[in-house]
């Protein structure tokens, strides 16, 4: 590792530590670098509040309309590949001080070791390959499966009860 990269890594670590110390008591820093409100919201609370409005929680305005929320409501909260299920939502925002940096809910699952796994929306046919942004072209994936999939197109053929899923990569 070069000297520049080591210095950059130390600077980033110091910056995150200063940020962690400066946060109010009810806030923390998530493993992904989000500023988090230390409350785990039940899935039904967030999905029941989806619509074209804003919620105000602890003085934070939260936009409640997005394709991601719509995807979780329509396509479910389980990863379409590995089956891990989302357990709770956390209210988070990115670390930057940009005014457009709004608070939003992120859905998390817990893996076998009890570590948090972020659940995401994924395009079945990637936008880079001509796929649209419609709800029919979206699926719920955990970040692990989403990174493995990349921008590949996968067609999933589901079989009847008692038989495994058959996945074909195109």
Predicted confidence at residue 77, as pLDDT, reads: 96
Q: Say if 48 falls within a structural domain.
A: yes
Q: Say if 4 falls within a structural domain.
A: no
* DSSP assigned state of 42: P
Predicted confidence at residue 57, as pLDDT, reads: 86
Which tokens hold the place of 51?
Answer: 């619509």
Q: Say if 3 falls within a structural domain.
A: no
Indicate the pTM of the whole model: 0.73
Q: Say if 129 falls within a structural domain.
A: yes
Predicted confidence at residue 26, as pLDDT, reads: 58
Predicted confidence at residue 67, as pLDDT, reads: 93
Number of domains present in the structure of the chain: 1
CB count in 10 Å sphere of residue 13 = 10
Predicted confidence at residue 159, as pLDDT, reads: 35
Non-local (6+) Cβ contacts of 125 within 8 A are 131, 132, 137, 153
Q: Say if 65 falls within a structural domain.
A: yes
Q: Say if 89 falls within a structural domain.
A: yes
Q: Say if 131 falls within a structural domain.
A: yes
Q: Which helix (H) or strand (E) holds 18?
A: helix 3-22
What are the pLDDT tens digits along the chain (170 aa)? Answer: 566 545 555 555 565 455 555 555 556 666 666 788 888 999 999 999 998 888 888 888 898 999 999 999 999 999 999 999 999 999 988 876 666 678 899 999 999 999 999 999 999 999 988 888 999 999 999 999 999 998 888 755 333 333 344 444 44
Domain of residue 52: give its range: 28-169
Q: Say if 10 falls within a structural domain.
A: no
């Amino acid at each position: 590792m070069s000297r520049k990269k080591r210095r950059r890594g130390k600077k980033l670590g110091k910056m995150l530590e200063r940020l962690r110390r400066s946060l109010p008591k009810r806030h923390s820093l998530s493993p992904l670098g989000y500023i988090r409100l230390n409350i785990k919201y039940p899935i039904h609370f967030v999905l029941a509040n989806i619509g074209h409005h804003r919620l105000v929680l602890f003085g934070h305005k939260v936009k409640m309309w997005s394709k991601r929320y719509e995807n979780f409501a329509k396509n479910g909260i389980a990863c379409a590949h590995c089956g891990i299920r989302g357990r709770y939502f956390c209210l988070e925002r990115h670390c930057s001080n940009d005014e457009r940096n709004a608070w939003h809910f992120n859905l998390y699952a817990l893996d076998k070791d009890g570590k948090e796994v972020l659940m995401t929306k994924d395009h079945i046919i990637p936008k880079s390959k001509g796929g649209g942004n419609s709800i029919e072209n979206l699926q719920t994936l955990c970040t692990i499966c989403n990174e493995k999939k990349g921008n590949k197109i996968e067609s999933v053929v589901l079989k009847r009860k008692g038989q495994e899923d058959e996945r074909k990569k195109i």
